Chain A
Amino acid sequence: MLQVKELRKRFGDREAVSDISFTVNKGECFGLLGPNGAGKSTTISMISGLLSSDHGDVEIDGLSVKKNLMAVKKKMGVVPQEIALYPTLSAKENLYFWGRMYGLRGAMLKKRVDEVLEIVGLTDRAKERIDQYSGGMKRRINIGAALLHQPAYLIMDEPTVGIDPQSRNHILETVKELNKQGMTVIYTSHYMEEVEFLCERIAIMDHGKMIALGRKEELYQYLVGGTSIRVVTAGIHENWLAKLKEMANVQNIVVQEDTVILSTSNKQELIHQVIATAMDEKIEIQTLDIQELNLEAVFLHLTGRSLRD
């Protein structure tokens, strides 16, 4: 079990993480969701011992990161957000190197490198240099390097940033499979679809604080009686926006270029009002849809902002 207890971290005047606490059970896939700058990576850095916390501690199977860092590191595989590999070395050479850093030697090292290459689906390209790989392939080796010592806990920080959908699917399927085999996964992302796909329990972070924690279904409860309505227009006028903001039914409003996202507890009445005011202000509505229950809507509901803001 991994326990995060009241973690706090300050950089100068800015509090990057404020008293974060959560528990990840063995074999679970836990999601840490939030926009860029929410404090996810800082939290991950403190869990993996890269950063020391100003307050609080992390315990993995009863071992404190502060007191037993080396023992804790043996249990963890960390996939960093950047491609932390040596570009002029081949994938195989990289894996051999990282395997040695995790204490593997000889036949065991060779066996694990071969297995990991198989897992990430790059056995036939193993001898190519990393700088000749596509972004997706690099990401796969980046993950593979953290799997070599068969860690009990896999900690992944935005592992799919900037890759093609095919590679993303491969990575998500791989993580799902590893979790199915018993590996505990902590997955951070600002892509709510990924977290929704992989994780049973999710913590949502914003501005260094945890604003929600629970199973997916529990988080959707935030939206009970509430809905998001997305209106795409040909062009927004300030007057219309002012009228929308004055409506009693609107709980939150987000404007993204020509799109307006409204959260409400009374969708029928709001739809009527939106259309009526748009006609008054001569706003051309191109599409209007009621959004399904998802983490994006939860985040919007809780913060009044989109995850990708």
Chain B
Amino acid sequence: MRALAIAWNELKIWLRDGKGLLLTFLMPIVLTAILGMALSGVMSSGADSMPEMEIGLYDAEKSELSTILAERVLQHKDLKKYIHLKEYSSEKELRKSIQDGERDAGIIIPAGYSKKLTNGQSVQITVLRHPEKSTSGQIVESLVAAYTDRVTAIADATQVVANDLLAKPGGQASLQSFVQQLEQLGDDSGDSRNDFVREQSVGKKSVSSFQYYAAAMAVMFLLFNSVNGAKSILGEKRMGTLSRLLTTPTQKSSILVGKFLGTLLFSVFQISFFMLATFLIFQVSWGENILQSVTIAFVYAFAVAGIAMMLASIVKTEESADQLAGFGVQIFSMLGGSMVPLFVFPEVMRNIALFTPNYWALDGFLDVMSGVSWSDLFLTFGVLLAIGLSTLSIGIWRLQAR
């Protein structure tokens, strides 16, 4: 009961902080509006998930593999509406078209591409980018890299298996059947959309820029609560209210649970308000199954409140916590995709993002928006709950010992 009274008190104090409220409730809405509108070209709206791109191609080889790349990958039925492909007869012409701004990006398939690729040798397709259309260049690069990787993998596998089969009695017949299967696989390599495209739309629907930035801002601003929650405990220490609480017949554990619940309650309140506001103002859809979004919001708020407890046990003063807020939260937000969409980052950055709680929350929201099933969200729930529980335990353990 006392823990609930402490949590309620905490919530009241947070709601009385005018400046804090402005930052917490208004800023994310304003930023969603700015970023959602500014980047609507990159992410497009409604059902689209990619910008339309003018791509040039110079194929110096005209082999089967290069044709598959041009016709079945770049002009795949799912990509055709985004990629407007034009073939050029020389590299010079292609470069000029990019310089003139006629094309956003260009692909140069070198002579000997197929031979080198199937022999397992290194071969490079050059992707030219217009400096102002870097996103298009990155998308094209991803598509080409995914295709090249797939063909290389098939070629390597072929070589290993063929050598093995030929070494065995009756291997010739087996080899024939294996080659047939490979031919089918080779056809499929041009058919499937690459990883990047799938990353943008895991579920049935794609995510608009407003949806992306609504989720991104919600996640980023909620992360500030981890610092604010820690500051609240440090502030009570400074004011002497924490010592006073300890002179009352209230268990230390009740005080800590109360502070945790206070941060959790405020975070839930903040994100609920934000979801409702973005829905009403920008018609942002938080997914067909709103219960999924609410669950993501809750487990993320839980993780944030847990982190707050851990920070309070590590940081000594409110000033240090402020410095952490100014620096740490922004780094995490950047890494977790709240500022710039993760798909423009190199893979190494996307791997680092896995260590940030906000990445998981954002990923979860985007998944819900794209219409995934509950089972697709279990990993997100699990990771966020694990972060919340572990940080809460560390925080309570360290603060109890003080």
Which residues of A are interface residues toward B (Cβ below 8 A)? 48-50, 70, 73-74, 76, 78, 80-89, 93, 97-98, 100-103, 145
Contact = CB atoms under 8 A, between A and B. Distances in A.
A93 B9 CA distance: 9
B247 A78 contact: yes
A76 to B, nearest CB: 7
Given A50-B246, A74-B249, A89-B13, A101 B5 contact: yes
Contacts of A74: 249
B244 interface: yes
B250 interface: yes
Nearest to A93: B12
Nearest to A81: B240
B16 A101 contact: no
Interface string B234-258: 0000011101111111110000000
Contacts of B239: 82-87
A50 B243 contact: yes
A101 B2 contact: yes
Contacts, number: 63
Given A89-B13, A89-B16, A49 B247 contact: yes
A101 B248 contact: yes
A88 B239 CA distance: 12
A83 B249 contact: no
A102 B249 contact: yes
Q: Closest 7 interchain pairs by CB?
A: A84-B240, A82-B240, A84-B244, A78-B247, A101-B248, A88-B16, A73-B249
A273 B13 CA distance: 65
B317 to A, nearest CB: 17
Contacts of A48: 247
Given A100-B2, A102-B249, A80 B12 contact: no
B244 A78 contact: yes
A135 to B, nearest CB: 15
Given A88-B17, A89-B13, A97-B5, A103 B249 contact: yes
A49 B244 CA distance: 11
B248 A98 contact: yes
Contacts of B251: 70
Nearest to A97: B9
Contacts of A81: 240
Interface in B117-164: none
Nearest to B5: A100
Contact of B241 (A50, A86, A103): A86
Contact of A50 (B1, B16, B247): B247
A89 B12 contact: yes
A100 B5 CA distance: 7
Contacts of B17: 88
